[in-house]
Amino acid sequence: MIGGMTMSKIIAALFTAMTVGSLWMTYQGTGLQSIKTHSTIKQIRSTHAGSWGSSGGGFSSGK
Amino acid sequence: MSDTKSVYSIKCTNCAAPLEIRGGGRVTTVTCQYCNSVLDMTAEYKVLSQFHDKYRPPVPFKLGMVGEIKGVEWTIIGWVSYRTTDFPTERWSEFFLYSPLYGYGWLIYEEGLLSFSKRVRDFSLLKWQKDGSSKVQFFRKSHYRLVEEPYDIEIDFVQGELSYVAKADDLIRCWDYDGPSHKSITIEKSGHELEAYQNEKLNRREIYDSFGVAKDKQVDEKLGAVDSMFDEETLEASDESRRSFLGKMAILIVVMILAIGYSFVSSKALLQIDANQPFTQSIRVDSSAFLSKIVIKAPTPKILDTIKLDIYNGATLIFTIDKSNLYSKSGYIGKTWDKGDDEATIYMKLDSGEYRVALGLSSPLSANDKVKIVIQEKVMRLLYLVIVLVLLFISVLVSYKSSSRKESSEAKSSGKSKYLWWFLAVLFGYFMFGFGSMVFLGAFYLFASNIGSANSSDSDDWWDDDE
């Protein structure tokens, strides 16, 4: 039977491995290469669309 | 501390010795400490039987002692010693406990091992019988497994008050089921009576101190070499392992917070230019650690579409991006920007060394239209670190909550706050990493709650049943 002590050791070891692994992958940049794009116009449109309109109150579809 | 309000004295109808009666209304017999006569309290203390010449085991507890178990004050009012029929030298004592508020319970003592036992009425004995006393039982959200084959025990010695008539050599058949977190269930069959008890191991130091057992009478658990190898850990070891676990988790959390804190100061700017015409610029990357970040920002999407940015290492093109193409020698990064975008941020691996950055424009820009090019090195992306940190926090929280619930019987509201913490964790995950993280956190919840339930599954309703 796996007692509580053994279980806590397994979980602690798992988290230690996860911590070391994540630090190493962060250091190496493994899987972290990416591109993020931004569109000011799209941002404005999406913010405006579906927001509470200023003319007369109520929900505005943005059309 | 002591409850003496309901104590009264009688004289033994056999030997006239004074006997103190401490139990409540369900006590039916009292056994004289001097002549070992069992007196019927429901029939004018008539002598029912006697326990002459019976072995009186040495125990650290005695009748009348008052102490606290799981936050409730109990008085020891009776004592029954048992032995197994197969191994008669195997003896243990069960002390009958009384609390005016919580009824009756049992303090079980076996060579330094202490447990608290209480009859449970919500265990379905009918189903248990129908299942043919199956090897696995499910009770109060936890599974209990049959430890060994059923065994017979008999009463060896009795003293004080009991809620039933104990007779010497009364035979009782027992089934023991082990559950999580030092809990177990015992089914006892005596004649036609069938009863279920839930037991929980106790911290012997706490119980000895609470009941005022003198230091020289405090017996530690005695285990043989074989027992030591196969027996479960003691509660003290469990507490120690919990503290050790929390200590390790705290160290990991500090490491992660330091790493995340370092990310705010780790980056170094290599290039920052606002340009409206093509240029070529040399940069030097000092460290291969972490990633390099390239930001391309244009005043309009149309201007962004005119840009072509190349990075060379010597004569080798290692990175290029324009409106239709994105290439990196260090591996796949993703697709280039879409029509309508005016900004792109690229995270890529650049090893230490000399590089040449070249900006090209497919059409000339006016003097007011400037594109911003920023390159930084040693940029830490926190994706992994934050996920692990959140998981560490959740694990510590689950462990801490379950241990505090275990130690206090007053934590009935913690079930609700648990959901609040999980809700906040899921919300945090969603905002940080999107919908996918919610699924991940949900899966982790099931994993973590299993750890937690092993410690706390039914502590809330532990006292609900009466003897």
Domain positions in chain B: 8-223, 233-265+382-467, 268-379
**pTM for the full predicted model:** 0.52
Are the beta carbons of A35 and B336 separated by less than 8 Å? yes
How many CA atoms are closer than 13 Å to the CA of B151, on its beta-carbon side? Answer: 17
Question: In the sheet where B353-361 sits, what is the strand order?
Answer: B279-285, B353-361, B307-313, B316-321, B326-328
Q: Which residue has the higher pLDDT, B405 or B219?
A: B219
What are B228's two structure tokens?
Answer: 């030591």
Residues of chain A numbered 26-45 and touching chain B (CB < 8 Å): 26-29, 32-42
Q: Considering CB atoms only, which of B233, B348, B385 is closest to A26? A: B385
Question: Is residue B414 pLDDT above 80, yes or no?
Answer: no
Whether residue A25 and residue B384 make contact (CB cut-off 8 A), yes or no, is yes
Bridge partner residues of B151 (DSSP): B174
Q: How confident is the model at residue B316 (pLDDT cuts 50, 70, 90)?
A: very high
Q: Which residues of B touch A21 (CB under 8 A)?
A: 384
Do B395 and A26 lie within an 8 Å CB cutoff? no
Report the distance separating Cα A32 and Cα A12, nearest Å.
26
- Residue whose entry in the numeric block shows the structure tokens 């499910």: B138
CATH class of B268-379: mainly beta
Nearest C-alpha of chain B: how many angstroms from A55?
28
Q: So what's the pLDDT on residue B314? A: 92
pLDDT recorded at residue B85: 83
Q: Which of B382, B344, B433 is nearest to B264 (CA)?
A: B382
**CB-based contact B270:B283 (threshold 8 Å):** yes
Distance CA B91, CA B71 (A): 28
For residue B244, count other CB atoms closer than 10 A to its CB.
15
Q: Give the pLDDT of residue B395.
A: 83
Residues contacting B458, CB < 8 A, separation 6+: B139, B140, B141, B142, B183
Are A4 and B233 inside 8 Å of each other by CB? yes
Q: What is the pLDDT of residue B236?
A: 57
Helices (H), B104-191: 125-130
CB B26 within 8 A of CB B467: yes
- Cα A10–Cα A14–Cα A15 angle in degrees, nearest 5: 120
Strand partners, B145: B136, B178
| Percent with pLDDT over 90 in chain B | 35
Nearest to A15 among B328, B344, B395 (CB): B395
Chain A positions touching B241 (Cβ under 8 A) are: 4-5, 8-9
- ipTM score assigned to the predicted complex: 0.72
- Report the residue of chain B nearest A22, measured CA to CA: B384
pLDDT tens figures, B179-193: 887 888 998 888 888
User: Are the beta carbons of B319 and B283 closer than 8 angstroms?
Assistant: no
Mean pLDDT for B315-337 is: 94
Residues of chain A positioned with their CB less than 8 A from the CB of B237? 5
Beta carbons of B169 and B154 less than 8 angstroms apart: yes
Residues facing residue B308 across a β-bridge: B360
Q: Which residue has the higher pLDDT, B261 or B42?
A: B261
Cα-based angle B253, B254, B256 (whole degrees, multiple of 5): 65
Name the packing angle between helices B435-456 and A4-28 (round to 10°): 160
Mean pLDDT of A6-16: 82
Mean pLDDT of B19-35: 81
Name the least confident of B36-50, B348-362, B383-397, B438-452.
Answer: B438-452
Residue B234 has a pLDDT of: 55
pLDDT mean across residues, chain B:
81
Based on DSSP, count helices (H) and strands (E) in chain B, helices before strands. 8, 25
Contacts of A7 in chain B (CB under 8 A): 451, 454
Residue B280: strand pairing partners: B358
Give the separation between CA A33 and CA B346, rounded to whole angstroms: 8
Tokens describing residue A49: 């669309």
Higher pLDDT, B262 or B225: B262
Residues B94, B163 contacting (CB under 8 angstroms):
no
Subunit contact B241:A9, Cβ cutoff 8 A: yes
